[in-house]
Amino acid sequence: MKSFSILFGLGLFLTSLISNCTDYMGAPKDKSGGKMNFEVQKSEDDWKKTLSSEQYRILREKGTERAFTGEYYYNKEKGKYYCAACGAELFDSNTKYESGSGWPSFFKPASDKAVHSETDTSHGMTRTEVVCARCGGHLGHVFSDGPAPTGLRYCINSVSLKFKKD
């Protein structure tokens, strides 16, 4: 009976662990814990057809690109940054700054409704994930060590962005 209890407990633990991992990999959750509905809805197969393998890994599987390797990290041109998955306007170059983090950094989104933030407890730490408000694509994370006027640092993967020059 003791062996059964241990195995049963281990089974519950593994089920919980797997459930938490798959929840993390899925779409962002709303305030009540349900999956958020986005204006742009596609099956994962459709996203795979639409995005490059690297874009899919970052935007849909919540990956990240290596620091200092992103296409827009060093970009100093004036223009707007759009979601690489759905084309929604996300950031303006006037809010981009050099944070030294290795990823393009912005102190605010293009509008209050451009991005959603979500608590991310992966990798043994608590961070705030940033997703596109239109399609739910993973963009990066936001931190509270940015410059005035917001004090925020939106640390965004270049792969999740498309830039259009003014």
Model confidence pLDDT, tens digit, residues 8-50: 444 433 333 333 333 334 444 444 444 568 999 999 999 999 9
Domain that holds residue 57: 2-165
Model confidence pLDDT, tens digit, residues 111-128: 999 999 999 998 899 999
- The predicted model scores a pTM of 0.79
Q: Is the pLDDT of residue 7 over 90?
A: no
Under a CB-based contact definition with an 8 Å cutoff, are residues 129 and 119 in contact?
yes
Catalytic residue among 51, 133, 152, 155: 155
CATH number of the domain encompassing residue 134:
2.170.150.20
Q: Is 21 annotated as a binding residue?
A: no
> Is the Cα dihedral 117, 119, 122, 126 positive or negative?
positive
3-state helix, strand, coil in the chain (%, to 5): 30, 25, 45
Q: Is 83 annotated as a binding residue?
A: yes
Q: How far apart are CA 70 and CA 111, in angstroms?
A: 24
Confidence category of residue 4, pLDDT binned at 50, 70, 90: very low
Task: Look up 155 and say whether it is catalytic.
Answer: yes
- Look at the chain and report how many structural domains it folds into: 1
